[in-house]
Structure formats: C-alpha cells, structure tokens
C-alpha cells in the first residue's frame, strides 16, 4: 500500500509538471519558471524561438548566465532581487537591452512569486513580452501626431493671418477651422462654430440659397470658383454683399475632401461703386448741358462776327472779322466732334478726324470750290485732351491751305489729312497740292496767328513741327518722336 501511494504521488507530480509545461508552452509570449536561486526550471517554446537558445543551454542554468551573460541586465536584477521579494508581483515592468544577434529590444516583464505549501520553497514566474515593434510604432505615431499638430497650428496661423473671413469645411460642410476675422466680422464664437454644419451657424443665418448653389453644385463640378457674389440679410449686421472664393482640396488618397471658403465683405465697395456711378451720371448730365451751352455760345459769337464783317466798310477789318469767324467755327467743329465721340475718355483718332474734316468741308468749302478734303492713315487712340489739340491743329492747317494754297477760285485742289501711330509715337500731317511756299513757313507768306497756334499746340503735345513746300504743294508734319512712315502727298 505504501509503495502504491508513492507511485500515485509520483504520477501526480509528473502530471502536474506536464500540465505546467503545457501551459507554459501554450502562452504566446516567452515565459520562464525560476527557482529561488534564479535558476531556470522551465522555459516556453516561444522563449527558445524568440531568443534563439536551446533547452540544453537553458534549463537548470542561472538566468544571468544564459547566452554568455546576455540576460545579466541591471534592471532585471532590480526586478528579481528587490521588487519581487518585497512585493511578490510586478506587471508592465519595462526593460531595454541590446541582445547579440537580436539588436536593441524593449521588453515588458510580468513577474510573480509563487510559494508552496509549507512556505519553504518559492518559484518565480517571469513573462517576457517583446514590445519593440509596438514602441517603434508608438514613436512613429507620436512623430506623426507632432507633425500633424504642427501642420494644424501652421494652417491655423495662416488662416488667422488672412484679413478676409475664412472657413475650412469638411466634405459634409462642417466647419473645421475658422479665422479670427470670421469670428470678428460675423460676431460668433469658436464654440458656436467649429464642428457645426455651416448652414446651422448663427441660427441658420448662413443657410443662403446662393451659398448652397456654390458649395453643393458649382464646387463639386468645377473644383474652384472665384468672385461669386452673394447678397444676404444678416441679423445684427443688415444687408451684406459678399464675394466668395471657394476651392476643393483632396487628401493624398483622394478619399476625403476639404473646401476652403474665403469671404470678402464688399458691401462698402458696392455702395461706393453705386455712388460713383451716380456721380458719373450727374457729371455726364452737367457736361451735356455745358457742351450745349458752349455750342450755343460759339454759334452766337460766330453770327455776331459774321454780321459785323458784313456791316464794316474797311476791307482789312472785314478780313480780320471773317478770319475770327472761321476760327470760332473751327473751335465749334472740334467741340462738336469731341462731344459726338464721348470725349470724356479715349478717342479713336481716325473716325474723329473724318467727322471733323467732313464738318470743315461743309462749312468752309461747300459746293462753291472744287477742292476735296480726305483723311487717311492707320489711326489709333488718344486722350480727349490730345484729340482736342489734334483737332485744332488740323482745323488751322486746313483753313490755312484753303486760304493760301489755292489762290484761283476755280483751281481743282486736294487736301489730305494723315494720322499714323506706332506705340507711343505718332505723326499727323496735312498736305495740299497747291502753289507751295518756301520751306520754314506754312502756306501763308509770313508767320501769322495760325502758325503760332499750331506751334503752341504742338509744344503741348511734345511734338515737332516740320514744313516742306515746293511746286507740288505744301506738307506740314507734326511728329511725336520719330518712326518710319510712308510719305503721303496730295496728288
């Protein structure tokens, strides 16, 4: 009976050891069972596999002597020789160590002291979890989070720096970020803005049909929209006119989208534009009235001069009065053409000169003299002030040619007005096929009032006056700078 009991106890012990070894081998993480002298009683298969050692080099040996002393780790000594004897258990105790053939490893140790019945002997269970990969991932995650936070702070700083109100929306049109200027302009707080749907902000004051059209239809189709104008009545702000710039931004994978929405309040600008338009309209009315009064006044002066010319006895006085009458009529013609071409801005010179010369031909040539007046050239544009000076110069030179180039009333004559422009340079010329005169003066025998007027106006235009005359007629050229042009002469 006594022998049978001993056998049963031995079998039970063997079964217990097999069960214990089975449990140790089943656990995924490496596990060691140590005696009270820290010799290895048992080790799991995962321990042998993870640390590349064999059972014969492990079981029965001191832990610190394993693998040529690679387990002689100061922090492991503290755990096993100080902490465990005092506390009996320790979980999540982390140790870093450089293992030959394995490199730097980070291990999380769980240790527990087990006492047997009677308390004479004790065993230490040591679980070893290799968390090296986990710690690397955590560090990479922390670095990514740091970079994301830096990017967020940088983006927020950019948004806050923009003067105009600015929103960053997610694909569901919820507010991710808003600029300080947005909070200030529309009198809302971050707590009532961030994370909320745009249309729900401020009790629905941003639920604007034009804004819905932009964000739900135009931006998804086009990806970007600039200067989209929306008018809306905001509680506490009144009627506002906003200029919206929106752009869709895709993430790297193209799965999520962000919408950047810039909001420029142009209410004041639009008010100023309307006021400007009204002022321009009033100015146009005043100019129209002024032009009308000037035209009437010139006609009255011309009529008075003509009446006086007919009434005086002195032939010299009559000629002076007729000359004054023609000059007043020329000013009236220039004024009429400038008004007809809306001379408040840029004037196309060629059409302007054509109309001016037609008016001069009607008033100064009529059907009594066989003289033609023609405008040629490529033309160009000029300011109203320049056009006025050019018109007066052409009028003086045409009058001069009519008075002096064709002394015989029945002589068939031709006067050509040419204007060419190349960039900032231009040239105006008036030529006739009359009797001609010596170089240096116009067609008249001496430098008179007309000559002085033409030279003064040319100086205002920063242009040079050149006169050439011969048997074939006279050409007077007014040139601003110099550029090659084809010569135009009256036939």
pLDDT digits (tens, 9 = 90+) for 146-164: 887 877 777 777 777 677 8
- Give the integer Cα–Cα distance in Å for 159 and 263: 12
Residue 372 pLDDT exceeds 50? yes
- Over residues 187-195, the mean pLDDT reads 87
Structurally, at CATH architecture level, domain 342-491 sits in: 2-Layer Sandwich (3.30)
Q: What is the pTM of this model?
A: 0.42
- The residue among 104 and 410 whose pLDDT is bigger is 104
Dihedrals phi, psi of 193, to nearest 5 degrees = -120, -55
Is residue 430 pLDDT above 90, yes or no? yes
Across 119-128, 165-174, 334-343, which has the greatest mean pLDDT? 165-174
Q: What pLDDT, on a 0 to 100 scale, did the predictor assign at position 6?
A: 63
d(CA 364, CA 322): 11
Section 87-115 average pLDDT:
85
Return the half-sphere exposure (C-beta side, CA atoms, 13 A cut-off) of residue 280. Answer: 8
Q: Which of 325, 328, 331, 351 is nearest to 340 (CA)?
A: 351
Grouping H, G, I as helix, E, B as strand and the rest as coil, residue 484 is coil
Domain ranges of the chain: 14-130, 162-265, 270-340, 342-491
Question: Which CATH number does 14-130 carry?
Answer: 3.30.450.20
Mean pLDDT for the stretch of residues 384-396: 85
Percent of the chain with pLDDT over 70: 82
> CA dist 291 to 219, 277, 300, 360, Å?
51, 20, 14, 19
Lowest-pLDDT choice from 346-360, 388-402, 430-444: 430-444
Q: Which residue has the higher pLDDT, 170 or 310?
A: 170
Token pair for 253: 């994978």
Q: What is the pLDDT of residue 445?
A: 43
C-beta atoms surrounding 101 within 10 Å: 8
Q: Do the Cβ atoms of 58 and 48 come closer than 8 Å? A: yes
**Does residue 343 have a pLDDT over 50?**
no
| Interatomic CA distance for residues 143 and 67, integer angstroms | 35
Q: What angle do CA 259, 265, 269 make, to 5 degrees?
A: 140
Q: What pLDDT is recorded for position 252? A: 66
Q: Which two tokens stand for residue 411?
A: 């002589």
Higher pLDDT, 397 or 344: 397
Q: Which residue's entry shows tokens 């089975």?
A: 22
Looking at per-residue pLDDT, the higher value among 337 and 382 belongs to 382
Is pLDDT of 239 > 90?
A: no
Q: What is the CATH number of domain 162-265?
A: 3.30.450.20
Is residue 389 a contact partner of residue 461, using CB atoms and an 8 Å limit? yes
Average confidence score pLDDT of the chain = 80
Decide if 438 contacts 399 (C-beta within 8 A): no
Could you give the CA distance from residue 24 to residue 280 in angstroms, rounded to a whole number?
96
- State the pLDDT at residue 289: 73
pLDDT digit string, tens, across residues 51-79: 888 888 888 889 888 877 888 888 888 88
DSSP E strand boundaries for 274-424: 346-348, 371-376, 381-383, 413-422
Share of the chain above pLDDT 90, in %: 5
| Predicted pLDDT at 254 | 58
Query: Tens of pLDDT along 17-48?
Result: 555 555 665 567 888 888 888 898 888 888 88
- Cα–Cα distance measured from residue 373 to residue 197, given in angstroms and rounded to the nearest whole number: 74
Q: For residue 223, give the nearest of 258, 176, 177 by alpha carbon.
A: 258
Identical topology for domains 14-130 and 162-265: yes
pLDDT at 438: 52
Measured CA to CA in angstroms, residue 51 lies from 44, 76, 125 at distances of 11, 16, 18
Six-digit token pair at 115?
Answer: 């006492």
What pLDDT digit, counting tens, does each position of 196-211 carry?
Answer: 888 888 778 888 888 8
pLDDT of residue 479: 93
Q: Which residue has the higher pLDDT, 483 or 306?
A: 306
For 404, residues 6+ apart whose C-beta sits below 8 A from its C-beta are 434, 437, 442, 443, 444, 445
DSSP 3-state of 191? helix
């Amino acid at each position: 009976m006594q022998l049978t009991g001993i056998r049963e106890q031995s079998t039970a012990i063997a079964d217990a050891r097999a069960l214990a070894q089975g449990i140790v081998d089943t656990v995924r993480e490496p596990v060691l069972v140590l005696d009270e002298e820290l010799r290895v009683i048992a080790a799991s298969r995962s321990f042998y596999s993870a640390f590349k050692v064999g059972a014969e080099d492990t079981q029965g040996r001191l832990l610190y002597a394993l693998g040529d002393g690679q387990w002689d780790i100061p922090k492991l000594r503290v755990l096993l020789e100080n902490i465990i004897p005092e506390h009996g258990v320790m979980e999540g105790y982390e140790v870093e160590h450089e293992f030959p053939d394995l490199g730097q490893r980070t291990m999380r140790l769980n240790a527990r002291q087990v006492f047997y019945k009677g308390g004479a002997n004790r065993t230490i269970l040591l679980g070893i979890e290799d968390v090296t990969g986990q710690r690397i991932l955590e560090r990479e995650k922390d670095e990514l989070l740091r970079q994301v936070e830096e990017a967020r702070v940088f983006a927020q700083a950019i948004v806050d720096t923009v003067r105009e109100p600015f929103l960053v929306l997610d694909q569901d049109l919820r507010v991710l970020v808003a600029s300080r200027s947005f909070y200030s302009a529309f009198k809302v707080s971050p707590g009532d803005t961030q994370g909320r749907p745009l249309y729900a902000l401020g009790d629905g004051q941003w639920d604007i049909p034009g804004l819905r059209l932009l964000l739900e239809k135009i931006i998804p189709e086009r990806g970007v929209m600039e200067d989209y104008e929306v008018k809306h009545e905001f509680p506490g702000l009144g009627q506002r006119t906003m200029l919206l710039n929106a752009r869709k931004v895709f993430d790297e994978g193209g799965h999520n989208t962000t919408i950047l929405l810039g909001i420029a309040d142009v209410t004041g600008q639009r008010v100023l534009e309307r006021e400007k338009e009204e002022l321009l309209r009033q100015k146009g009315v005043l100019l129209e009235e002024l032009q009308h009064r000037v035209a009437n006044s010139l006609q009255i002066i011309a009529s008075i001069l003509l009446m006086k010319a007919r009434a005086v006895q002195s032939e010299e006085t009559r000629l002076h009065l007729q000359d004054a009458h023609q000059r007043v009529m020329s000013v009236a013609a220039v004024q009429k053409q400038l008004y007809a071409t809306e001379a408040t801005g840029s004037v196309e010179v060629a059409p302007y000169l054509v109309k001016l010369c037609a008016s001069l031909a009607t008033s100064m040539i009529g059907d009594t003299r066989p003289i033609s007046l023609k405008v040629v050239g490529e033309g160009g544009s000029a300011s109203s002030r320049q056009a006025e000076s050019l018109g007066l110069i052409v009028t003086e030179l045409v009058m001069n040619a009519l008075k002096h180039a064709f002394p015989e009333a029945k002589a068939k004559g031709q006067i050509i007005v040419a204007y060419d422009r190349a960039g900032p340079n231009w040239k105006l010329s008036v030529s006739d096929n009359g009797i001609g005169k010596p170089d240096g003066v116009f067609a008249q025998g001496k430098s008179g009032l007309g000559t002085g007027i033409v030279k003064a106006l040319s100086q205002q235009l920063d242009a040079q006056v050149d006169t050439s005359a011969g048997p074939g007629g006279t050409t007077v050229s007014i040139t601003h700078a110099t550029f090659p042009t084809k010569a135009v002469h009256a036939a």
